[in-house]
Structure 1
Amino acid sequence: MAKTNQQILDRATDTSIANHILGNSTGESLFQKHQINDRFSGARGHGHAGELMGDTMDKLSLKKTSMEGNSHEKHGADRVVNGVNIQTKYYSSANKSIAAAFENGVAKYRNPDGSMMKIEVPRDQYNKAVKAMARRIKNGEVPNETNPQNAARYVKRGALSYEHSQIATKSIFDRGSTIVVDGQVKSVSFGQKLVYSVGSDFLTGVANTVPTVIVSQVWYYVNARWHRQDADEALKGAVLGSVKPILVGASIYTVSSQFGGSNLAKSIFKGVKADKITQRTAIGVTAAITIGLDVVDCLRGRISMQ
């Protein structure tokens, strides 16, 4: 494939990725869908972080997923994975996480057939949460279920531990971040935020960029074969060509999310919500990536202004 054709494809792919992140085709940006406002503010932000990372890991596992929590439907599902309704509960203990799914001994989150939705809990609470659910079944609190041995059917192991979910609410742009674990205040290091906050955003960016990249690289492969390129070479080009746009999408999402959710950004853009700041940041980062190199080449006389 000619270099100019590859450049056109790269530009079109980067634009498609940006449109997907910014919501230009749906009207709702990924930042709104992922409840960035709630994640980086308020006492329940870690629950949203756990919910988002759970969705990300399921996507990377090639499961069919959708996030429903942004609708704030009372007793509705937070996520749907392969047709299974999931409600995410990230509390300080397994008993509290499971208890949050009940009210006066009655399950609050139910499927259309009356059965109980699966409850997603912090990764480190899973085993105790299954035991807590078994007790609820034994007490007759789980609808359409009488066997405590089936408790695991109603509990999903989360992608993050309780402590890590709290770290995921802290932006790398801020200093002096703290969390509360087991009643104790703990300082959050730069390295911890790099792994659990930035790392979570990067993987989320990857998971939400891959579908767009796959479409573009399938086109690359078909076009290469149309121009009689060897099948192995065409496949190699498509695979290698997917790396850059995935990194671009993940970088746009990560930088925008981290800055938009930071106290630094809130102090600069007073009164503006995190999701709006992330969108503006994403536009700037996208522009820098998509036309930045052209601007440099133009200033150095390598290409014309036109």
Structure 2
Amino acid sequence: MDKIEDKKKIKYTKNLKVPPYNLQNDGKYYNDTLKFNAHQGHGFAAEQANNLVDQYKGDKAVVLNENVKNGPDRIVNGVQIQTKYCKNAQTAVQNCFKDGKFKYSGQQIEVPPEQYDEVVRLFEKRGIKNAIIRKGHVSYKVAKNIAKFGTIEGLTYDVVTGINIGINAFGISALFSFAFTKWNGGSTEECVKNALQTSSQIFGMNVVSHVFSQQFARSSLNGFAHQSTLNVLQKVLTKDQFATFANSFRDEGAKKIYGAAAQQNVAKMVKGQAVFAAGILVLQTGWDVISVTRGKISGKQLAKNFFSNLGSAGGGLACAVYGTCIAGPVGGLIGGIVGGIISQFAVKKVLDQITPDDLDEMAEILNNQIIKLQKEEYLLTEQEFNEVLNKIKSQINKDFLQNMFESSDRQQYAKKKLKDYFQQALKNRPKVKVNEEINNYFKNEG
């Protein structure tokens, strides 16, 4: 047996790790968080936080994000709500009146829970009986801290909203990872395992990167590169595409925006997604750096992974933007995923021509050792050899190959691991009793 057929070779089944781009959520959250930096940013934070709690309770809740004079801030189950988060109950009540007249007819007044009783008393004192006071879910102090950079409350809020995005990414990533593994010749068991592993990793990356981008939006660096982002977009998008993009993410019934307003909105959203993508890239690279220091991958593999991930991030973001301009949020999601896959594949294809992956090299060492053991030491029958190969294939995974890579003598490591399978094949052979067989032969002949 001069060689092992390709179909019998040990192969490392590669997995797909392209984070799906969801501009509808990521970019929108970034734009909403930018409002936290305004003078009354804690009011916007209160709207978003109370709305999030209502949604988790199962209510149909939406923040309107419209600056309509005396209009509602949000709607929950069809009820219009005016959120008033002020430093004390007296100020909250005062802001509900102008020239002695109540400004928010038909709306519930939402106030911090610790101010609720006092607000009710002050409304009754004014003789207003038809106003409905609503107790908010978060306190005034919590709302203030949610709007700030680096606070526990703000980080907690970002983690919760990040989980919302991460769950969406989990399902999409699992589907594509399953398919990608199948296309690469993986078994159903490998497909399921890789799908769960990859989607879990991407879920975590999405949550952490979301927190990173939202904290960035609150920081003094949030204005960084805004004009540069706008300049680039103006060169590649038409005015109509800006408008289509911007209005794709506005709530139903909201006033549409055009011209400079649409361009500014899109620039903020795209920059937010770029920050989000950068966060994922940092996480991916950071994990690879740790792997290099632990000897699990080489510096060469680190460089390959970085450029492959960078290509995926850039291609995914560009296609997400164009996809949104063509077909709205759905087009953006599909464009982001497909663009990321194609870009990652193209970049990796080029890099593979330069140098193979670490794990592919380990798989090649295994194949060479299998051939050597079969030809020079064991000479198994074809049936025995096929059984050995099947057993080896079922045990070879990423962890096995990484442990092999870490070994100081990879050839010897592979040989030692493989010999056990060959020796077991010899032990499983039927025992031949030579003397008994010969005696039986001559008796039969006689």
Q: Calculate the TM-score normalised by the size of structure 2.
A: 0.45
Aligned in 2, Cα 1:164/1:98: closer, same or farther, shift over 3 Å?
same
1:84 paired residue number: 79
1:15 paired residue number: 20
Measured after TM superposition, the shift of residue 15 of structure 1 is 0.8
Q: 1:51 aligns with which of 47, 52, 57?
A: 47
Q: Which runs of 5+ in 1 are unaligned?
A: 24-28, 111-115, 146-150, 173-192, 224-228
Distance in 1 of aligned mates of 2:97 and 2:134: 16
1:226 paired residue number: none
Residues 134-189 of structure 1 deviation map (CA, whole Å, 9 limit, x = unaligned): 444xx2x46xx3xxxxx6xx2222232222222222212xxxxxxxxxxxxxxxxx
Contact 2:174 2:196 in 1 (8 A): no
Aligned in 2, Cα 1:132/1:249: closer, same or farther, shift over 3 Å?
farther
Residues 189-224 of structure 1 deviation map (CA, whole Å, 9 limit, x = unaligned): xxxx1x2121122222224544x257549969x99x
Aligned in 2, Cα 1:100/1:271: closer, same or farther, shift over 3 Å?
farther
Residues 281-302 of structure 1 deviation map (CA, whole Å, 9 limit, x = unaligned): 2231134457887898695449
Residues 95-142 of structure 1 deviation map (CA, whole Å, 9 limit, x = unaligned): 3213322223333224xxxxx211111232122223333444xx2x46
Distance in 2 of aligned mates of 1:61 and 1:239: 28
Distance in 2 of aligned mates of 1:99 and 1:155: 14
Distance in 2 of aligned mates of 1:64 and 1:299: 50
1:108 paired residue number: 103
Q: Which runs of 5+ in 2 are unaligned?
A: 1-11, 180-187, 229-263, 305-347, 353-446
Measured after TM superposition, the shift of residue 50 of structure 1 is 1.1
Amino acid corresponding to residue 163 of structure 1 in structure 2: K
> Which structure has the highest strand share of the two?
1
Distance in 2 of aligned mates of 1:59 and 1:4: 41
Distance in 2 of aligned mates of 1:239 and 1:106: 59
Amino acid corresponding to residue 111 of structure 2 in structure 1: V
1:185 paired residue number: none
Aligned in 2, Cα 1:83/1:72: closer, same or farther, shift over 3 Å?
same
Contact 1:66 1:79 in 2 (8 A): yes
Aligned in 2, Cα 1:30/1:270: closer, same or farther, shift over 3 Å?
closer
Q: Would you say 1:198 and 2:155 are equivalent positions?
A: yes
Residues 65-90 of structure 1 deviation map (CA, whole Å, 9 limit, x = unaligned): 21112x21222221122222211111
Secondary structure of the corresponding residue to residue 170 of structure 1: coil
Contact 1:260 1:275 in 2 (8 A): no
Residues 236-281 of structure 1 deviation map (CA, whole Å, 9 limit, x = unaligned): 9999987555433332222112122212x15865989995664432
Contact 1:260 1:281 in 2 (8 A): no
Distance in 2 of aligned mates of 1:155 and 1:219: 46
Q: Would you say 1:72 and 2:72 are equivalent positions?
A: no
Measured after TM superposition, the shift of residue 59 of structure 1 is 2.1
Root mean square deviation, CA, Å: 4.3
Amino acid corresponding to residue 283 of structure 1 in structure 2: A
Secondary structure of the corresponding residue to residue 251 of structure 1: helix
Q: Calculate the TM-score normalised by the size of structure 1.
A: 0.62
Q: Percent identity?
A: 23
Q: Would you say 1:167 and 2:145 are equivalent positions?
A: yes
Q: 1:250 aligns with which of 207, 218, 228?
A: 207
Distance in 2 of aligned mates of 1:239 and 1:56: 28
1:30 paired residue number: 29
2:277 paired residue number: 283
1:127 paired residue number: 117
1:187 paired residue number: none
1:139-218 to structure 2, matched below 5 A, reads 139=127, 141=128, 145=130, 154-172=132-150, 193=151, 195-210=152-167, 212-213=168-169, 216=172
Q: 2:57 aligns with which of 57, 61, 82?
A: 61
Aligned length: 244
Amino acid corresponding to residue 133 of structure 1 in structure 2: F
